[in-house]
Structure formats: structure tokens, C-alpha cells
Amino acid sequence: MPDMRLFHSKNTKLEVDLRKFLFARGFRYRLHDKRLKGTPDLVFPKYKAVIFVHGCFWHAHENCSHASIPKTNTEFWLEKFAKNKERDEKAQKWLEDNGWRVLTLWECAIRKPEQFCFDELLDFVECWLVGGARSCEVSGRNEIPLLDLAIESGQLCMKVI
């Protein structure tokens, strides 16, 4: 069984880049607030919004090529992934039931540069925060442009993304 302490779940490159961008644009947030279910990566009390930055492998992203099941100790991994997914779903439900908006950014969203430009993704996140749109997720599987995703999620944003 792998030593899970060797894997880092906080301060991933995507998370750090996102934080730098948002801070530079004037957004203030809390990191990994344990008072909220699921310990969101970024918490924006002013906007009653949270952001989770999910690794496709660790959170068993469905139908994603980055979410394969290891060939060794398969039973352990299947059980672990099932528990992770269940925990994620419960956390999102609790947050939404308590008035929080949830944005889930999947790792594969930035691994497909032909589909997503990182600047567009950051602009989308900014618009989502200030626009008051409902909860949504962004992944490399989204087959629609971010502008359409923004409109679909009820987002009103003057910025062209």
C-alpha cells in the first residue's frame, strides 16, 4: 500500500497559479478552510463561493484519461476512489445546501491547451466569482467553449472570454 503522506493535496501548481492571478486582480480568499465541509481549496466569503481544484486521478474523474486505475493493488484503489467521490459529493451538497456556490476546476482543464487557454480559464473564474452564477465545473471534457459554459451556468459577465 502506498504511503499517502508522500502525496501533496495542497498548493499544487494549478492552485498556486490560480491564487496568484486572483490575488493580483484584487480578490481576497481563505485557503483550505476546515470549517467548511470538504475543506475547499479557495474560499471567497464576500461572494459566498468556493473553488475546488481537483486532480483527475485522485478524485476519479469519470471518463477522463488522467483517471486510470493502477494495475497493482486494484481493490485498494477502487475503494479509495469510491470514498473520495462520495466525500466530494457530500461536501458539495452540504456547501450548496448552506448557500455556497461551488466551482470545481479539474486538472484536465489545463492539460488540453488546444481546448482551453489558461488565460481564458482565469477570466472565466473571475467572471464566475463576481457574476453570482450557480455551481459548475470546468474540465477538459467540456465540449463547449468557456463563453458558452459561462452563459449556460447563468453567468452574466461583460468580459469577452
CATH of the domain at 115: 3.40.960.10
Q: Does residue 27 belong to any structural domain of this protein?
A: yes
Q: Does residue 137 belong to any structural domain of this protein?
A: yes
Q: Does residue 88 belong to any structural domain of this protein?
A: yes
**pLDDT value for 61:** 86
Residue 161 confidence (pLDDT) above 50: no
Q: Which pLDDT band holds residue 59 (cuts at 50, 70, 90)?
A: confident
Q: What is the pLDDT of residues 117-148, one digit of tens each?
A: 777 778 888 888 988 888 888 877 655 445 45
Q: Does residue 157 belong to any structural domain of this protein?
A: no
More confident residue, 35 or 131: 35
The number of distinct structural domains making up the chain is 1
Reading the block at residue 92, the C-alpha cell is 458539495
Residue 156 confidence (pLDDT) above 80: no
Average pLDDT, stretch 14-42?
A: 91
Q: Does residue 109 belong to any structural domain of this protein?
A: yes
Average pLDDT of every residue of the chain: 79
Name the pairing type of β-strands 49-54 and 101-106: parallel
Residue 35 confidence (pLDDT) above 90: yes
**pLDDT value for 144:** 46
**pLDDT value for 96:** 96
Name the pairing type of β-strands 101-106 and 42-44: unpaired
Residue 16 confidence (pLDDT) above 70: yes
More confident residue, 32 or 161: 32
Q: Does residue 62 belong to any structural domain of this protein?
A: yes
Residues of the domain holding 139: 4-152
Q: What is the pLDDT of residues 69-79, one digit of tens each?
A: 888 888 999 99
CB atoms within 10 A of CB 21: 17
Q: Does residue 119 belong to any structural domain of this protein?
A: yes
Q: What is the Cα 83 distance to its own chain's centre?
A: 18
Q: Does residue 71 belong to any structural domain of this protein?
A: yes
